[in-house]
Amino acid sequence: MNKPEISLGMGSLQQVYRDSAFTPLDMVEQVLAAIGGDPNKTWIHVVDAATLCAQAQALMARGPEGLALWGIPFAIKDNIDLAGVPTTAGCPDYAYTPERSATVVQRLLDAGAIAIGKTNLDQFATGLNGTRSPYGACRNAFNPDYVSGGSSAGSAVAVALGHVSFSLGTDTAGSGRVPAGFNHLVGLKPSLGLLSTTGVVPACRSLDVVSIFALTADDAQQVFAVAHGHDPLDAYSRPALPHGFDFGLAARPRLGVPRADQLQFLGDIDYAQCFADACKHAQALGAELVEIDFAPFQETARLLYEGPWVAERYQAIRAFIDARPESVFPVTREITLGGAKPLAADAFAAQYRLKALAQRCAGVWSGIDCMLLPTSPTIHPIATVLAEPIARNSDFGCYTNFVNLLDYAAIAAPAGFRTDGLPFGVTFVAQAHQDQPLLHLARRWQRALQGRAATLGATGHAAVSFAAATAVRSGQIQVAVCGAHLEGQPLNAQLTSRGARLVQRTTTAPEYHLYALPDGRRPGLVRVAEGGAAIEVEVWELPASQLGSFVDGIPAPLGIGRTVLADGRLVAGFICEQQGILGAENITAFGGWLAYRQQVSN
């Protein structure tokens, strides 16, 4: 009797590990059966069954305690080192066998994850389509006649087909996002330097990041929490900075969308409709859509194919391609050798142009928290890309290429399907170190999807949510307010003048009484042992550095303590001293200060 297939979504897999007899050894058996003959050309090297089973048994003997990724299978793009397994970068003659795993891979292994093997890619990570590989064109998880997206082609398809729970890719111009969009996945392009690139074959070293493909934003966040961290061996590594206001949790995140005349879908009517539907989905989540001038970002995207960055690709494999040009895939060779031609003066000219464009782009951020973009304007059949390999590849990068050049973070998320069943995805783009808010926004986005759009990759499985580890501190404090500091009320400016933003409108747990204080201008919130009710509050977020001056301006009998919200969270919030309610009117029955004030004014 065949065992039922277990979803490899991390929430589902961890749940069955806890609640049933399913073990990491069973997982290895399921994964190897799923890979089978690999008709999608997903894998370059799969670790042998005996080794995988031994790793699973060692984990079972050790137990899951303290291992955040215990028994979770993952795949590695074959330009990232896994000890004892050849790294080819998609070029057999380039292959070497590393003694040590890449830093980011080792962190995942140390957390209990199991590396299943190495995945197919556009050779030397040059391309956004997945066809530039001597190991065969990687095929889309939904329709094998279409491209998978690249260069992290196999990494995306392995997750989408249910071969692994997550995978590592790299992203220089969109390689961690385009394949996610084409295969109904989450694809996190982290801020530069937050995931170590030690042990990664470079493409453009100054732009490269290790990316994460996952079935859900929860999964991506859990992996990011384990994988990120400063690496002194990586010259581009940097620690994650506090991200500030968490727009991903905000009641009204401000999402920038290109003006209608700047959107391009290359005649793909379905994708255009899908993006229109995605904008409606964003508004249903409470987001405010803000039209932006996308022109400077488009101009920046075009810079990627100019002097310094093409030259940087050449520099990455210069010794090899000069010595053995015949070993390089033809279109990859043509592109890379083009990097030998620009002069140093051309590089400086392009850098000056980038600085000027970055100044123009920076002005957009004062009015938005992040951008909402199509991940790609369209998708092509493999045959179309092979017929025009450079032009059709460029089609895929118009919404992605600028991100790395401007040192932004981004996350791709599923958003629906074309009428022919091929996936459509969107990408949220934010400034550097906004990785955590992006993950929160993608989680919120994904959890609100309906029907087929809510399924995981190409598996058809439903998501199981779980509380993923918080990866980066915000540097912010959330404060629950219930009276004169509410939006539109007389003292709200004491919050907004300190840079505070509204996160949510909610209620307390049903454990409070609300009083109108004798001065008639403020309420007092008091927690009671019994007979309490839920009271309407707003949760605002302000920089931790501003909390002291805010608290200092609160007159007795009010102060700041801890408020229990309806969902059980404890946040800073207004409290009232017991003597302050002497002679005060109990207005709990109104459920909140605004309802009471409306009754008084009537």
Q: Minimal CA–CA distance to 491: which of 479, 503, 477?
A: 479
Assign 424 to helix, strand or coil. strand
* Span 322-326, average pLDDT: 94
Q: Which residues are catalytic?
A: 77, 151, 175
**Domain identity same for 449 and 483:** no
Mean pLDDT rounded to a whole number for the chain = 94
**Domain identity same for 548 and 426:** no
| Number of domains the chain is built from | 2
**Domain identity same for 496 and 586:** yes
**Domain identity same for 79 and 221:** yes
Distance CA 28, CA 47 (A): 11
**Domain identity same for 481 and 450:** no
Q: Where are the alpha helices (DSSP H) in 44-94?
A: 49-62
pLDDT tens per residue across span 80-93 = 999 999 999 999 99
Distance CA 317, CA 198 (A): 16
Distance CA 433, CA 239 (A): 9
pLDDT tens per residue across span 401-444 = 999 999 999 999 999 999 999 999 999 999 999 999 999 999 99
- Residue 413: give its domain's CATH number: 3.90.1300.10
Residue linked to tokens 């550095």: 545
Q: Are residues 170 and 77 in contact, defined by beta-carbon separation less than 8 angstroms?
A: yes
492: containing domain: 476-601
Q: Are residues 193 and 234 in contact, defined by beta-carbon separation less than 8 angstroms?
A: yes
Q: Are residues 513 and 586 in contact, defined by beta-carbon separation less than 8 angstroms?
A: yes
- Determine how β-strand 288-292 pairs with β-strand 254-258: parallel
Distance CA 159, CA 155 (A): 7
Q: Where are the alpha helices (DSSP H) in 188-329?
A: 217-227, 269-284, 295-303, 307-316, 318-323
Q: What is the pLDDT of residue 463?
A: 84
307 pLDDT band (50/70/90 cuts)?
Answer: low
Is 356 part of any domain? no
**Domain identity same for 433 and 487:** no
Assign 468 to helix, strand or coil. coil
Answer yes or no: is pLDDT of 601 > 80: no
Counting beta carbons within 10 angstroms of the beta carbon of residue 387, is it exposed (0 to 12), middle (13 to 18) or buried (19 or more)?
exposed
Length reported for the chain:
602
Structure tokens at 24: 């990491």
Is 62 part of any domain? yes
pLDDT tens per residue across span 130-139 = 999 999 999 9
Distance CA 193, CA 104 (A): 11
Structure tokens at 433: 């170190």
Which residue among 389, 421, 454 closes a domain?
A: 454
**Domain identity same for 184 and 246:** yes
Assign 68 to helix, strand or coil. coil
Answer yes or no: is pLDDT of 97 > 90: yes
Structure tokens at 185: 């996945």
**Distance, C-alpha 120 to centroid of its chain:** 22
* Residue type, position 105, single letter: V
Answer yes or no: is pLDDT of 43 > 70: yes
Is 363 part of any domain? no
Residue linked to tokens 């995981």: 456
**Domain identity same for 246 and 394:** yes
Residue linked to tokens 């909390």: 547
1 pLDDT band (50/70/90 cuts)?
Answer: very low
Name all contacts of 129-133 with Cβ < 8 Å and 24+ positions apart: 129/153, 129/380, 129/385, 129/389, 129/392, 129/393, 129/396, 130/154, 130/179, 131/382, 131/385, 131/386, 131/389, 132/90, 132/329, 132/331, 132/332, 132/389, 133/41, 133/90, 133/329
Neighbouring residues of 219: CB distance < 8 A, sequence distance ≥ 6? 9, 10, 11, 165, 166, 186, 468
- Compute how many other C-beta atoms are within 10 angstroms of the C-beta atom of residue 485: 24
**Domain identity same for 183 and 34:** yes
- Residue 495: give its domain's CATH number: 3.10.490.10
Structure tokens at 157: 């398809």
pTM here? 0.89
Answer yes or no: is pLDDT of 256 > 60: yes
pLDDT tens per residue across span 462-518 = 988 777 777 777 888 999 999 999 999 999 999 999 989 999 999 999 999 999 999
* Torsions phi, psi for 247 (to 5 deg): -65, -20
**Domain identity same for 401 and 543:** no
Give percent of the chain with pLDDT exceeding 70.
Answer: 99
Is 266 part of any domain? no
Q: What is the pLDDT of residue 2?
A: 58
Is 13 part of any domain? no
Answer yes or no: is pLDDT of 23 > 50: yes
Q: Minimal CA–CA distance to 165: which of 78, 69, 276?
A: 69
Is 523 part of any domain? yes
For the sheet with 523-527, list strands across it: 523-527, 512-516, 585-586
pLDDT tens per residue across span 365-384 = 999 999 999 999 999 999 99
Answer yes or no: is pLDDT of 521 > 90: no
**Domain identity same for 496 and 430:** no
Is 84 part of any domain? yes
- Determine how β-strand 73-77 pairs with β-strand 585-586: unpaired
**Domain identity same for 415 and 540:** no
Answer yes or no: is pLDDT of 600 > 70: yes
Q: What is the pLDDT of residue 474?
A: 80
Q: Dihedral of the CA atoms 329, 334, 336, 339 (nearest 10)?
A: 170
Is 261 part of any domain? no
